[in-house]
Amino acid sequence: MHRFFISKEAESGKQIIFSSEQSAQISKVLRSGKDDLVTVFDGTGYEQTVRLDSVDRHSCIGTIIDSRQGQSEPRVKITLYQSLIKPDRFEYTLQKGVEIGITTIVPIRTTRTESFQLSPSRLTRWRKIVMESAEQSGRVILPTLTTPVCFDEALQISRGLKLIPWENEYKASLRDVLRDNEVASMDEGDEISIFIGPVGGFSPQEIKKAENKETISVSLGKRVLRSETAGIATALGVLYESGDMG
């Protein structure tokens, strides 16, 4: 069943009024008709089955016939502090990060961050990618994408168990750190923060700053991963260890 994220403004009692863009997708792309069913979610953790009452490329209206609490969200909340990289690679991280269950993505600027201007239009595009990935992957919350912050600010606002994969860490493996910190026994809503460096990695000075803020540097193994791969790999390790990957 096709899924759509809807804003609170789209709900009026049991009635759902789809946006013009969603209406065009329902009528022209999906070729849905009256009485067909779709699923909607508004980011509160619940999802609803909606029966389409009227279908038009400009405006579709439906009625909620079933509501249930979603079961797709991870027990542990992961915030990914991802260094800004080339836009297409950052978009890959956004898409896959949302699919696997990351809760919040915070773009960060570091010493070696590639220089480009993050325009309002690009940020809007990135938030649309987040929404579409949440729809596709069965999420029932809409993950948060913040505006960029500097590395020092990211260290200040980060919470929970804090991890920073680093290619020059040879002693502490991700697996050992997760098990030493009993990630498998974490409570619902406990937080884990993951810091990912840019092309060229974090500087030694940044690693030192992070460690001074109780952030643990970890190894991801014998191979050096790209920035857009490292965050996904680390988050998957956390989700596996917490029991979320089946």
**pLDDT tens, position by position, 129-144:** 999 999 999 999 999 9
Contact in structure between 90 and 129 (CB atoms under 8 Å): no
Other residues' Cβ atoms within 10 Å of the Cβ of residue 180:
10
pLDDT for 229 beyond 90: yes
Start and end residues for every CATH 3.40.1280.10 domain found in the chain: 77-241
Start and end residues for every CATH 2.40.240.20 domain found in the chain: 3-69
Q: Which CATH topology does 3-69 take?
A: Ribosomal Protein L25; Chain P (2.40.240)
Separation between Cα atoms, residue 42 and residue 146, nearest integer Å: 19
Q: pLDDT grade, residue 116 (50/70/90)?
A: confident
Strand order in the sheet with 61-69: 3-5, 37-41, 46-54, 61-69, 15-17, 11-12
Fill in the amino acid letter for 22.
Answer: Q
pLDDT in tens, 172-203: 999 999 999 999 999 999 999 999 999 999 99
Looking at 19-84, list the stretches that DSSP marks H as alpha helix, in order from N- to C-terminal side: 20-24
In CATH, what class is 77-241? alpha beta
Contact in structure between 245 and 107 (CB atoms under 8 Å): no
pLDDT for 45 beyond 80: yes
Q: pLDDT grade, residue 56 (50/70/90)?
A: very high
Angle at 175 between CA 172 and CA 181, to 5 degrees: 85
